[in-house]
């Protein structure tokens, strides 16, 4: 990377040095060949003319780094050239390079000043130094050349400034897009991790309970043990379906849409199966629905289902409860969920676990809130409030 930057820095210097050498060789060659002689009595080219050519080459070579000094030097060289009575007037084109460069790198104001200065020097060179009255028609042409060089430089500088600003804006937009993509990817991973946690946690907890029941009654009541094994199979099949769906999401190339979680389409329509699974694990669930149930937005529906699922999973794993009261209150602008068990007044989440934190994150993602704490009358209660956005 450093070598590339160093190479990019050297390229303009090499280009300017080459241009300066070409300009110097060009007007010296034209003067040596007698192209466009300005005065009749001229002196042959000597070391002084070569020195002036080298001065032009050096001034052009450093024109980007020292644009003001370059303009001054490139305008002084024609004066000295004509005072020395050297042949040819192509030397007067050299200051136009400095005038153009000054406007490019310092803006139109400096370009205007450089054009005025260059035109003044051209007039002095033509009218004062040479004293040739017949060259009066050349003065407007010289002024026009200086103005054209300054205008072209100002236009080029403005174009470069606009191009640099556009590139900077594009770079900022690309960076913003990449940061947003990384943020969406992180949120997507978090959502998928939360789904896997809920699916596996609920399935494993229920399977553990059912397996314990089966082991306990396998000899005395083989029929009940068979029912426990059937329940385990159903739980495994349902969990495998959900896991397959989640892993399928990981393999898809469809980008995530902000605010639209890509996850198994669970919802309150599966609540009956969830309660049946809990009851099969010897947990009695008393369901109380208030208000007017209606179809919910997919994010709210999924979050409500997962919160209830995780709360029941925690009860099965930690609460040692027999009964759970589940209350759903449908209001016009929100859905209220209350899950209370009759177990000991302790947290239903393991130390260092993520169950309750995951439920809070689900509620917070929808601008809702969730509390989980021991109930004053005994047991443990989870209370969630999920806002329902109005359809647009």
Asked whether the CA dihedral 19, 25, 28, 33 is positive or negative, the reply is negative
- Name the burial class of residue 117, with classes exposed (0-12), middle (13-18) and buried (19+) by CB atoms within 10 angstroms of its CB: buried
- Name the burial class of residue 168, with classes exposed (0-12), middle (13-18) and buried (19+) by CB atoms within 10 angstroms of its CB: exposed
Region at 12 (left for phi over 0; alpha for psi -120 to 50; beta for the rest): alpha
| H helix or E strand, kind and range, residue 172 | helix 138-217
pLDDT value at residue 39: 55
Strands (E), the chain: 284-291, 323-330, 334-341, 369-374, 380-387
pLDDT value at residue 21: 84
Fold of the domain built from segment(s) 266-392? Heat Shock Protein 90 (3.30.565)
Determine the longest span between alpha carbons in the chain, in angstroms: 133
- Distance (Å, rounded) from C-alpha 44 to C-alpha 12? 34
The number of residues making up the chain comes to 392
Tens digits of residue pLDDT in 15-44: 878 887 888 888 788 777 776 655 556 777
Contact 335, 389 (CB under 8 A): no
According to DSSP, residue 326 is labeled: E
User: Which of 290, 372, 288, 286 lies closest to 335, judged by CA?
Assistant: 290
Which two tokens mark 332?
């016009």
- Distance (Å, rounded) from C-alpha 35 to C-alpha 90? 9
**Ranges of the chain with pLDDT below 70:** 1-11, 35-41, 127-138, 200-202, 205-206, 208-210, 212-219, 224-225, 228, 235, 238-266, 345-354, 391-392
pLDDT value at residue 210: 64
User: First CA to last CA across the chain, in angstroms?
Assistant: 51
- Distance (Å, rounded) from C-alpha 273 to C-alpha 284? 14
- Distance (Å, rounded) from C-alpha 309 to C-alpha 199? 9
Tens digits of residue pLDDT in 325-376: 999 999 888 999 999 998 775 544 444 456 788 888 888 888 899 999 888 8
Q: Any idea where the domains of the chain sit in the sequence? A: 2-174, 266-392
User: Which of 94, 89, 90, 84 lies closest to 42, judged by CA?
Assistant: 84
pTM, full prediction: 0.48
Residue matched to tokens 């919910």: 296
Q: What is residue 39's three-state secondary structure?
A: coil
pLDDT value at residue 176: 86
User: Which of 179, 212, 160 lies closest to 316, judged by CA?
Assistant: 212
């Amino acid at each position: 990377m450093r070598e590339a930057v160093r190479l990019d820095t050297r390229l303009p210097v090499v280009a300017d040095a080459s241009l300066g050498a070409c300009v110097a060789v060009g007007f010296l060659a034209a003067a040596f060949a007698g192209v466009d002689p300005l005065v009749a009595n001229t002196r042959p080219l000597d070391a002084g003319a070569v020195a002036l050519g080298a001065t032009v080459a050096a001034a052009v070579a450093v024109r980007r780094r020292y644009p003001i000094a370059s303009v001054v030097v490139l305008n002084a060289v024609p004066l000295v050239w004509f005072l020395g009575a050297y042949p040819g007037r192509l030397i007067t084109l050299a200051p136009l390079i400095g005038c153009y460069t000054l406007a490019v790198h310092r803006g139109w104001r400096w370009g205007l000043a450089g054009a005025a200065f260059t035109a003044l020097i051209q007039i002095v060179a033509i009218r004062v130094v040479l004293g040739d009255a017949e060259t009066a028609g050349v003065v407007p042409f010289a002024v026009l050349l200086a103005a054209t060089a300054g205008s072209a430089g100002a236009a080029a500088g403005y174009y470069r400034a606009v191009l640099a600003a556009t590139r900077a804006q594009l770079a900022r937009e690309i960076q913003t897009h990449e940061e947003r993509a990384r943020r969406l990817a992180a949120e997507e991973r978090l959502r998928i991790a939360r789904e896997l946690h809920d699916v596996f946690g609920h399935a494993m907890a229920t399977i553990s309970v059912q397996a314990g029941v089966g082991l306990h009654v396998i000899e005395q009541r083989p029929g009940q043990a068979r029912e426990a094994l059937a329940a385990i199979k159903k739980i495994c099949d349902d969990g495998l379906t959900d896991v397959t769906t989640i892993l399928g999401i990981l393999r898809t190339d469809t980008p995530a849409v902000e605010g639209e979680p890509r996850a198994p389409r669970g919802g309150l329509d599966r609540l009956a199966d969830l309660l049946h699974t809990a009851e099969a694990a010897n947990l009695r669930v008393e369901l109380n629905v208030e208000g007017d149930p209606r179809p919910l937005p997919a994010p709210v529906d999924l979050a409500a289902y997962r919160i209830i699922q995780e709360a029941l999973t925690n009860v099965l794993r930690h609460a040692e409860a027999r009964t759970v009261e589940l209350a759903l209150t449908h209001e016009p602008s929100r859905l209220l969920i209350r899950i209370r068990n009759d177990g000991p007044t302790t947290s239903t989440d393991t130390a260092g676990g993520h169950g309750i934190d995951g439920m809070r994150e689900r509620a917070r993602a929808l601008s809702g809130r969730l509390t989980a704490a021991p109930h004053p009358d005994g047991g443990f209660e989870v209370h969630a409030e999920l806002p329902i956005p109005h359809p647009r």
